[in-house]
Structure 1
Amino acid sequence: MTDRKTAEAWKEAVVYQVYPRSFMDSNGDGIGDLAGIIGKLDYLQQLGVNLLWLSPVYRSPMDDNGYDISSYEDIAEVFGTLQEMERLIAEAKVRDMGILMDLVVNHTSDEHPWFLEALKSTNSPYRDFYIWRKPAADGGPPNDFRSYFGGSGWTFDIASGEYYFHQFSKRQPDLNWDNPQVREEVHAMMNRWLDKGISGFRMDVIDLIGKDVDRQVMVNGKNLHQFIHQMNRATFGHRDCVTVGETWSATPEDALLYSAEQREELSMVFQFEHIKLFWDEHDGKWCNKPFNLLRFKEVIDKWQRALAHQGWNSLFWSNHDLPRAVSRFGDDGRYRVASAKMLATALHCLKGTPYIYQGEEIGMTNVRFASIDDYRDIESLNLYRERTEAGVSDAQMMEGIYANGRDNARTPMQWDNSPHAGFTQGTPWIAANPNYQQVNVAAALACPDSIFFHYQKLVALRKKLPLLVHGDFQQIFADHPQVFGWLRRFNGQTLVVINNFTPEPVTLDVPEAMQGKQGTCLITNSSPRVRLPASLELQPFESFALLLERS
């Protein structure tokens, strides 16, 4: 077994997510690629991150932008070659960065050889790699399960007279994890990637692989944890790597099942309870709710306490499926810079592994394209069509897309103020956010006080201050409707973190036990604080972390 100290080095890491299609285009075809990522590794090294999580670059027809894989063993032509992937792994390693591959094994593309073979005959050895059912008595689908991308979760195969199951697009048939041959093939594929030198996996919708389609139990199926434990023992469990599972359904109790050391499953999971606070109870993310800081604090506090001694938290504001952080949790107008820095400080000073989504470090924002025709995301397009046909107005649906559509995170990375934000010399697959003229990497690197250098400082602090990694968490000002604050303690050190989450000034009464305490201001987006008075006057979105002097 790998030495425990080495194996837990990822707890000290900061992860940067790259969405390859939108990161950097090296050949002018309008689509980001592996060569483009390689060309920007020095930039990522300058930021200081340790791990790069790549959204899928495997061969794919791109029905869902790569989350529909037709070959786990090859690279999509639009992204480059397997040789370029191997070069990226090597070049990242030279810069002390590891690569996390996005692992999508709940489903494949309908162009995957396994599915093509399954279509040939009901007697094919690959038929049971997927989930098939005979029609209901009326000739319709076996049950009324609805795909997360709209429409039925069952598609009829005329040749065999059976339906196959898919939780997402009909071009993404679900794998049958109850078939041990499926598990063996997946494990072998994972080991081949690990042998190439990657540092681990981000596991897409991993909580769905234990599904029972007949009972319509999709998450937390009875065999889910058995499957993941088996995967751990067969692949990454004996290696020095990190694994994070995407688990939209996870509760803190579930997270302990996934990530407690003795269970031998995953390093950590992504949970989305803080994201779902914005979702309407009926219409989900397509009807946006205002930000409620008190509820948000309750959720974060719950997760920090639940995983305080076992398991591990992943910390994130956004990703390729979610709105831009500063547009969701901050203010992407007047206070874009201040609120982006505040959000960075808040995230990186919690206990867990921080994730930065590409462009977050320069304060990229949501986009408001004029028409649905300007959007590319299959989820947004399908749901727009389905709901407008059902009577929802264009304006209402577009507001939902403006707030929560996945293309908010997928517009090109804004490198400079040249055409298409310096992303491509060609025509980009999706238009750049028009604010790239002002919001871009070149401008950020030219300004010593930019959001980028704030992130850089936070990443550096994490590397040199064990308190930020291992310190416990205790919330303060729990009932305050504008301020989120907490203490971190470790080996006799105490860190006070205070964040004003609003565009209004705040007068904050400091607890008597903390009044007069002095220390070193590790980071702030305002004037440095060196002392805690009886009453703190906080500026809009002001944030700071004060390392108190030992008493």
Structure 2
Amino acid sequence: MPDHVWWKRGVIYEIYARSFQDSNGDGVGDLAGIRQRLDYLAWLGVEAIWISPIYPSPMADFGYDISDYCAIDPLFGSLDDFDVLLEDAHRRGLKVVLDYVPNHTSDRHPWFAESRSSRDNPRRDWYIWKDPAPGGGPPNNWISNFGGSAWQFDEATGQYYYHAFLREQPDLNWRNPDVRAAMHEALRFWLRRGVDGFRVDVMWHLAKSAAFLDDPVNPAYAEGAPDNQRILQVNSTDQPEVHAFVHGIRSVIDEFEDRVLIGEIYLPVERLVAYYGDNLGGAHLPFNFQLIHATWSAPALGRLIEEYEAAIPEGGWPNWVLGNHDQSRIASRVGAAQARVAAMLLLTLRGTPTIYYGDEIGMTDVPVSGEDIRDPWSLNEPGIGVGRDPQRTPMQWSARPFAGFSRGRPWLPLGRDFQTANVETLREDPQSILNLYRNLCALRTEWKALRVGAMKMHRAEGDLLIFERAVDDERLLVCLNLGAEARQAELPAGLGRWRALLSTVSARNAGNNVEFEDTVQLHPDEGLVAVLTA
């Protein structure tokens, strides 16, 4: 792929649809709400929006249990609403990426109703059915990612069906060619409407062991950890056949011009990069979640950056994320000051960055307890901290009632800081984290080195992470202080003078035309981007 394709040059912005903007006062975000905020997204400077599932669903897992792949749930609007949103986004130069959930359907999907109706139904093999174990009970020891056995017994037909997540989410059998054909056609439905690509949910789950071998017991499991950590999912996920399934999905994407395929894959780097596919016929962007789980130190970050860069196959394009709808927010993980440094890291590393909605205003995890809990995983395994509600709370637009998100009570509680940490307030502060994100997006647009330039690590020790981005005659230096004390950074000698372009702290900014040569004094918690001038 040439360097100028949109999913290489730009920033992707994840929208959790239920929590972005409510237009009708029911407390749940919707398509019309997203449409109302397109001007904001264009102002921020992102290239594309990725929208969480908006298809018809009983909402057992808030849209990740789909009952119809080719329609819109009335909670979010209609197909007409979607078409208008897509048209308006494109008019503003924004691409639209949808969530695609191919591993499982809702148990209310007509396909599953047929499949469970009898053992000889033509769609029986569209899902994964097995007889009980010889002594009775589940066919093997596979555990649901939401706790408990991954097998649900069906009294009517005397067999178990497999569900990697909730029992209301039976897994499709991707070894069945009819399943693949139907799921490919669902992709085409949206691609023909003009959708610019898909993020594929739990891509590595699509192929399970054909022999249904037990997963090995995890020797490192500790009491109090999530139930699914009792075993190592080496047989229930990431089987060799998965790459053929991903290639099939990519082939559909390639029937249409200028589209992107993104894969959700929680695997070690050496297995993650296999999802680029042979001859790069897999996912364009197998999601790289290393920054989410990293120890926040310069040596640790330096190692993972270099290991990831070294692992990417020739022709593959890197990507980075700080958070998403399943993970604790970056500001809660590293604190408000370092969240600014993290933003600079995300938006200056080589590759495509994805911003999670609200991170650009410094939103933190919101405590959710008691009757406010909505996450089925949290309800299934209470008290062990697996709930995802805290990072899915409504976007904070203003200091007005309900944070400008809705006219009614939101489906999840608001952050207590919404009267100060909101778009309307922070937009007026030139030094806010919101304007930092915007300035970083603008910097990527202005400097080709940040979009497509090569990367060279100069230092990753103590509190200092320093790397260079370069292309043609552009050379940019990124200096990050991951500590709370000022640090003097020794720079590569003999390169020339550097001029500051953007800092994360208000004491220094591009307007001051600060220049330095072999050393630079970094403020506490400062990130700095500079350009080589001579």
Matched residue of 1:27: which SS? Answer: coil
- For residue 265 of structure 2, what is the amino acid of its counterpart? T
1:508-548 CA distance string (max 9 Å, x none): 3334345xx32332211231473335543321210111111
Q: CA deviation at 1:147?
A: 0.5
Which position in structure 2 is the counterpart of 1:467? 449
Partner residue of 2:530? 546
Match of 1:117 among 110, 114, 117: 114
Which position in structure 2 is the counterpart of 1:353?
A: 352
Structure 2 unaligned spans of 5+ = 216-234
The verdict on how the C-alpha distance between 1:25 and 1:68 changes in structure 2, with shifts beyond 3 A counting, is same
Cα distance in structure 1, aligned partners of 2:23 and 2:189? 27
Corresponding residue SS for 1:73: coil
Residue 259 of structure 1 deviates from its aligned partner by 2.5
In the alignment, residue 449 of structure 1 is paired with which amino acid? Q
User: Does 2:367 align with 1:368?
Assistant: yes
Residues 213-270 of structure 1 show CA distances to partners (whole Å, capped at 9, x for unaligned) of: 6025133212111111122223435521111100101524641x33368332221111
The 1:308/1:494 distance shift into structure 2, 3 A limit, reads: farther
Check the 8 A contact 1:500/1:540 in 2, yes or no: yes
Match status 1:454 vs 2:451: no
- SS where residue 412 of structure 2 aligns? coil
2:317 maps to 1:312: yes
DSSP-derived class of the 1:512 partner: coil
Distance 1:263 1:361 in 2: 32
Query: In the alignment, is residue 15 of structure 1 matched against residue 12 of structure 2?
Result: yes
Please state if 1:331 is matched with 2:335: yes
Report the counterpart of residue 264 of structure 2 in structure 1: 246
Matched, 1:435 2:393: no
Shift, 1:448, TM fit: 2.2
* Superposition deviation, residue 498 in structure 1: 0.6
| CA 523–315 in structure 1, closer or farther in 2 if over 3 Å, else same | same
Letter of the 2:276 partner, please give it. S
Q: Name the CA distance, whole Å, in 2 between partners of 1:409 and 1:205.
A: 19
How many residue pairs match? The answer is 508
Deviation at 1:493, TM superposition (A): 2.2
Does the 8 Å CA contact 2:253/2:261 hold for their aligned counterparts? Answer: no
1:232 maps to 250
Match of 2:499 in 1: 520
Instruction: Tell me if structure 1 keeps the 8 A contact 2:6–2:47.
Output: no
TM-score by length of 2: 0.91
Contact 1:519 1:548 in 2 (8 A): yes
User: Is residue 319 of structure 2 the alignment partner of residue 296 of structure 1?
Assistant: no
Q: Helix, strand or coil for the counterpart of 2:161?
A: strand
Aligned counterparts, 1:31-430, within 5 A: 31-212=28-209, 214-215=212-213, 216=215, 217-252=235-270, 254-255=272-273, 257-259=274-276, 262-277=279-294, 291-307=296-312, 309-328=314-333, 330-332=334-336, 335=337, 339-369=338-368, 371-384=369-382, 394=383, 397=384, 400=385, 405-430=387-412
Confirm or deny: 8 A CA contact 2:9 2:451 kept in the other structure.
yes
CA spacing shift, 1:456–1:76, aligned 2, 3 Å: same
Deviations 1:98-138 (A, max 9, x none): 11010000111111110011111111111111000011122
The Cα shift of 1:482 comes to 1.2
* 8 A Cα contact 2:253 2:259, kept in partner: no
- For normalisation by structure 1, the TM-score amounts to 0.88
Cα distance change, pair 7–163 in 1 and its aligned pair in 2 (3 A): farther
- 1:177 partner amino acid: W
User: In 2, Cα distance between the equivalents of 1:381 and 1:437?
Assistant: 30
Which amino acid in 2 is paired with 1:431? P
Structure 1 CA distance for aligned equivalents of residues 158 and 521 of structure 2: 70
Moved more, 406-415 or 447-456: 447-456
Query: Does the CA contact (< 8 Å) of 2:498 and 2:517 recur in 1?
Result: no
Amino acid across the alignment from 1:246:
E
Counterpart code for 1:340: A
Is the alpha carbon distance of 1:49 and 1:535 closer, same or farther for their aligned partners in structure 2, counting shifts above 3 Å?
closer
Amino acid at match of 2:358: G
Distance 1:541 1:347 in 2: 15
Q: Percent identity?
A: 38
Task: Verify the 8 A CA contact 1:25 1:424 in the aligned structure 2.
Answer: yes
Asked if the contact 1:107/1:173 (under 8 Å) is kept, the reply is: yes
**Residue 505 to residue 241, structure 1, CA distance change in 2 (3 Å):** same
Question: How much does 1:41 deviate?
Answer: 0.7
- Is contact 1:510–1:533 with CA below 8 Å preserved after alignment? yes
**Conservation of the 8 A alpha-carbon contact between 1:322 and 1:408:** no
Instruction: Report the aligned-residue RMSD.
Output: 2.0
Tell me if the contact between 1:129 and 1:175 (Cα under 8 Å) persists in the aligned partners: yes
Residue pair 1:473, 1:489 contacting (<8 A) in 2 also: yes
Contact 1:414 1:436 in 2 (8 A): yes
| Whole-angstrom CA distance in 1 between matches of 2:268 and 2:124 | 31
The residue that corresponds to 2:227 in the other structure is none
Deviation per CA, 1:463-513: give whole Å up to 9, x if none. Answer: 2322112211111222x1212111112113221101111222223333434
The residue identity in structure 1 corresponding to 2:487 is V
- Contact in 1 for aligned 2:289/2:322 (Cα 8 Å): no
Native 8 Å contact 2:197 2:253 kept in 1: no
Are residues 1:27 and 2:31 paired?
Answer: no
Q: Name the SS for the 2:425 alignment partner.
A: helix
Check conservation: 1:41, 1:92, Cα contact below 8 A: yes
Mark the CA change 1:112 to 1:58 in structure 2 (over 3 Å): closer, same or farther.
Answer: same
AA matched with 1:538: L
